[in-house]
Structure 1
Amino acid sequence: MSTKRLRSSTEVLRSQSSQSTTDGSTQSDSSSLREVSVTIDVADDFDLAKSICSYGFFVLAPNKWCPPPPSLSTDHGVFKRPLRYGEKGQHVCDVTLTMGQGTIDVSVATSCPLDDGHLGEIKQQICRMCRVSFPIDSWWSLHSEAKSLGFGRLFRSPTLWEDMVKTITVCNVHWKRTCIMNRLLCDKVSSHMGSFPSPSDVLKFSPEWLQRECNLGYRATRLYKLASAFTDGTIDVAWWEHSDRTQQEVWDACLSLNGFGPFATNNVLQLMGFLETFPYDSETVRHFRECHKVIGSLADITKKAKQHYAKYAPYQFVAYWFELWKGYQQKDGVDADRWEEGNAALVISCPQQQQQQQQEVRDVVNEAKRVKRGRQ
């Protein structure tokens, strides 16, 4: 299944005003706003709520899913976030996504420059997040239960950079801290507060500052080196994402980066669309112990898991994640597309930790709001 034609946009231009900063980025003037409405044609089987609420990254800053009231179907859910665009991500806009009739309806609001080229970039980022071009019929032919639940398009970030950063923040850490790290990166590091920071934003700060102020721990050095790789050309996004690139080539390139071991590399691969990969970790061990009654080391479980999911090739990761995601929803008692901010942020936490962790997450969110008010 291929991505359908991106439809033309209509726009309402109130006024446009922006100021350039010393680093070339554009500082938005909130008193002037350009609003643009665009639509992206999607397949009849596309479901925005199920595409967004399918993978843990959707609850990480700066993503925000707003479920509808219980009386309405999830077709009325709304997804919001800032997107960076333009050369080196120097511009920012706020996008709001809703489900239309065979379309994703998008509202773009910005005080930064915005032309047709920028709109094309924004649309492509949205298509990447929602995996609009994923061949879901092929996957569903292998997994009837997933088809009955509309599951298959796994949410990801709008850019490879953001996916790789988020992968760093999920390694060897509890989920609640992953949530906190991403929130602090958006609120303390980004040159457009609240948006995801660009590589250039990260390089304005030392690893020591990032470690202290963003609760990154040892990941601060890895993040700093990753940002350097994106800015100095070590990571050529066009090369990485070229359609001719093989899984082995990307595996070798990613594994050579500081901080990217087998788990992180496998996770980056699945986020890029190589779904035969195996980013297995302690969650895999827990899942197989609880759901498949298999006990053993990570190496033992990895071998068993590869055998278990082999029949779903080339979508082994989707099959694995379907089982995990179904388990998270059962533990929470609510389908992911109905998650509010509180339970969404804590879905992977142990039940006995949730009350304490919920308060910690609220404290971070409230502090970020206080800092934002002080900077306005």
Structure 2
Amino acid sequence: MPTPSGGAAARRRAEPQPRVDLELELPLGGAAPFDLAAAVCSHGLFMMAPNRWDPATRALVRPLRLASDRSASLLARVSAHPARPDSALLVSVRGAGDLSSLDQYYILEQVRRMLRLSEEDGAAVAEFQAMHPSAREAGFGRVFRSPTLFEDMVKCILLCNCQWTRTLSMATALCELQSELKRSSSIDDFQTRTPPIREHKRKRSKRQSVRVKLETRFAEDKLEDPRLASGSSNDLTHSETNEILSSLPSVASETGSACDSLDPSELRLSNAPHLEDCIGDFPTPEELVNLDEDFLAKHCNLGYRAKRIVMLVRSIVEGKVCLQKLEEMRKMSVPAAEEVSTIPSPYERLNKELSTISGFGPFTRANVLMCMGFFHTIPADTETIRHLKQIHKRASTISSVHEELDKLYGKYAPFQFLAYWFELWGFYDKQFGKIREMEPSNYRLFTASHLKNTRKEKKPLEESSGG
């Protein structure tokens, strides 16, 4: 199916769009008043496609799936309820004149998951904020995640061993692929008309070769310690932030993210785009299962991650991995502080279950389990080592980083990750400017190199990026 022309798309946008407005009640409890911006702009996952945060209207927009037809998506806008901003959210679903009660429930459940709005989540936030007055004052405690566990799992794979710009680019490419698949009559037709992307090999300098050896050694050392990551990256600054590696040129290939080219005016939700005008929804396992690994790697620049994603997708579709079972094993429970030393059985079972999935090393598993609601383990990487040295003056190593983390954040058990992330995210907020006020085109600047430039030049983010 051909892509609509610019004129046709413009005419369609000018036409009134059918819309269904849903109200989502906010949980009451001992936590600080709910703040949508604080809940969304709390983790790098919110920057990854197809999520789009509009700082001007303080609203989140993205496609969400229907319960009646999981292959169908509708564009949803989540904002504070204009009449009851303190007690409810308004979820405006565009492109549908009517929604069944089942579809309405499923859409609201996806929003609840993203913003962690269950009673159990609220209780955990209240407990953590009682330990951490600064977090309560800032309204911090809900860490953004995806509407589905599958999307979280794939995005945690995308966080490994690459720079943040490429992570953003890979997420965008997967959403663009979903849109292309939706318009294609068959997988074979899609693959036939899509030329393979040529891979360009770059010559390595002597310094780059040294960097590769260091990165390889880092990964090998971490495999010896089950608490350490299998990937050497963090959600925002990744492996180039290590003290030794930061002085060497980056080997990871960087690609411009399609998010970078978005006109900020396209995010103004008063004129929300039709779903067809968006880059697409995040693909489901069923949409990816018939794709060839090499094709997926080249088309979305996934590299070795394509194999991990394909194996995960096939395991899910074939029934070897049951996402519903994993969610049920979690039981929405948070371990009590006195149980952390023995590790709660739900965490143990889930960690073991995830370890059987190819490519899910300690770092990826720790991030997935954090998304599932376990906050007593901190996914540690070279950015963690940088943070401990720069902020706490602790010269951690690969083998000692968890010992240092226990000393610093153990008093917040079972919420060590939340205490660590509140501190780290606050550091980014000061270095780059208010994250919740950034335009999406600036998300690519969340790298160690730009962080250094920010400290040195002390210029506003927009000036340093030329924006």
Q: Normalising by the residue count of structure 2, what TM-score does the alignment of the two structures yield? A: 0.65
Is contact 2:49–2:171 with CA below 8 Å preserved after alignment? yes
Is contact 2:178–2:280 with CA below 8 Å preserved after alignment? no
| Residue of structure 1 in register with 2:370 after alignment | 270
| Residue of structure 1 in register with 2:100 after alignment | 115
Root-mean-square deviation (CA), in Å?
Answer: 2.5
| Residue of structure 1 in register with 2:263 after alignment | none
Is contact 1:92–1:110 with CA below 8 Å preserved after alignment? no
What is the aligned counterpart of 2:89 among 85, 95, 104? Answer: 104
Per the TM alignment, residue 230 of structure 1 is displaced from its structure 2 partner at its CA by: 1.7
Verify: 1:89 aligned to 2:175, yes or no: no
Per the TM alignment, residue 183 of structure 1 is displaced from its structure 2 partner at its CA by: 0.4
What is the aligned counterpart of 2:291 among 190, 200, 205? Answer: 205
Which letter maps to 1:60? M
- Structure 2 gap ranges (5+): 1-11, 183-278, 332-344, 455-461
Per the TM alignment, residue 308 of structure 1 is displaced from its structure 2 partner at its CA by: 1.5
Change (3 A) 1:88 1:36: closer
| Residue of structure 2 in register with 1:59 after alignment | 47
| Residue of structure 2 in register with 1:37 after alignment | 21
| Residue of structure 1 in register with 2:351 after alignment | 251
Change (3 A) 1:38 1:87: closer
My pick for the range that moved more, 30-39 or 342-351, is 30-39
Whole-angstrom CA distance in 2 between matches of 1:344 and 1:85: 29
Whole-angstrom CA distance in 2 between matches of 1:144 and 1:112: 45
Is contact 1:328–1:348 with CA below 8 Å preserved after alignment? no
Is contact 1:91–1:113 with CA below 8 Å preserved after alignment? no
| Residue of structure 1 in register with 2:405 after alignment | 305
Whole-angstrom CA distance in 1 between matches of 2:108 and 2:347: 26
Residue deviations 1:315-335, cap 9 Å, x none?
111111111101111110x22
Is contact 1:35–1:110 with CA below 8 Å preserved after alignment? yes
| Residue of structure 2 in register with 1:12 after alignment | none
Count of residue correspondences: 322
What is the aligned counterpart of 2:301 among 215, 232, 238? Answer: 215
My pick for the range that moved more, 106-115 or 143-152, is 106-115
Residue deviations 1:234-278, cap 9 Å, x none?
221221111548111110011111110011111110100011122
Is contact 1:84–1:196 with CA below 8 Å preserved after alignment? no
The 3-state SS of whatever aligns with 1:186 is: helix
Which letter maps to 1:280? A
**For residues 120-139 of structure 1, what are the structure 2 equivalents within 5 Å?**
120-133=105-118, 134=121, 135=123, 136-139=125-128
The 3-state SS of whatever aligns with 2:161 is: coil
Per the TM alignment, residue 32 of structure 1 is displaced from its structure 2 partner at its CA by: 9.7
Is contact 1:92–1:112 with CA below 8 Å preserved after alignment? no
| Residue of structure 2 in register with 1:17 after alignment | none
**For residues 280-359 of structure 1, what are the structure 2 equivalents within 5 Å?**
280-332=380-432, 334-351=433-450
| Residue of structure 2 in register with 1:226 after alignment | 312
Per the TM alignment, residue 204 of structure 1 is displaced from its structure 2 partner at its CA by: 3.0
Per the TM alignment, residue 111 of structure 1 is displaced from its structure 2 partner at its CA by: 4.8
Per the TM alignment, residue 306 of structure 1 is displaced from its structure 2 partner at its CA by: 2.1
Verify: 1:79 aligned to 2:60, yes or no: yes
The 3-state SS of whatever aligns with 2:145 is: coil
Whole-angstrom CA distance in 2 between matches of 1:347 and 1:325: 11
Per the TM alignment, residue 112 of structure 1 is displaced from its structure 2 partner at its CA by: 9.5
- Structure 1 gap ranges (5+): 1-28, 69-75, 363-376
Whole-angstrom CA distance in 2 between matches of 1:348 and 1:54: 17
Is contact 2:110–2:148 with CA below 8 Å preserved after alignment? yes
Which letter maps to 2:365? T
When Rg is computed on C-alpha atoms for both structures, the one with the higher figure is 2
| Residue of structure 2 in register with 1:4 after alignment | none
Per the TM alignment, residue 151 of structure 1 is displaced from its structure 2 partner at its CA by: 0.9
Whole-angstrom CA distance in 1 between matches of 2:360 and 2:97: 35
Which letter maps to 2:301? N
Per the TM alignment, residue 213 of structure 1 is displaced from its structure 2 partner at its CA by: 1.1
The 3-state SS of whatever aligns with 1:299 is: coil
| Residue of structure 2 in register with 1:371 after alignment | none
What is the aligned counterpart of 1:196 among 282, 294, 300? Answer: 282
What is the aligned counterpart of 2:174 among 177, 185, 195? Answer: 185
**For residues 154-169 of structure 1, what are the structure 2 equivalents within 5 Å?**
154-169=143-158
Whole-angstrom CA distance in 1 between matches of 2:175 and 2:453: 25
Per the TM alignment, residue 88 of structure 1 is displaced from its structure 2 partner at its CA by: 7.3
Residue deviations 1:9-36, cap 9 Å, x none?
xxxxxxxxxxxxxxxxxxxx99996421
Residue deviations 1:143-177, cap 9 Å, x none?
11111111111000000000000000001111110
Change (3 A) 1:162 1:87: farther
Whole-angstrom CA distance in 1 between matches of 2:297 and 2:377: 30
* More strand per residue: 1
Which structure ranks higher in relative contact order (CA pairs < 8 Å, sequence separation ≥ 6)?
2
Whole-angstrom CA distance in 1 between matches of 2:154 and 2:51: 14
Is contact 2:20–2:96 with CA below 8 Å preserved after alignment? no
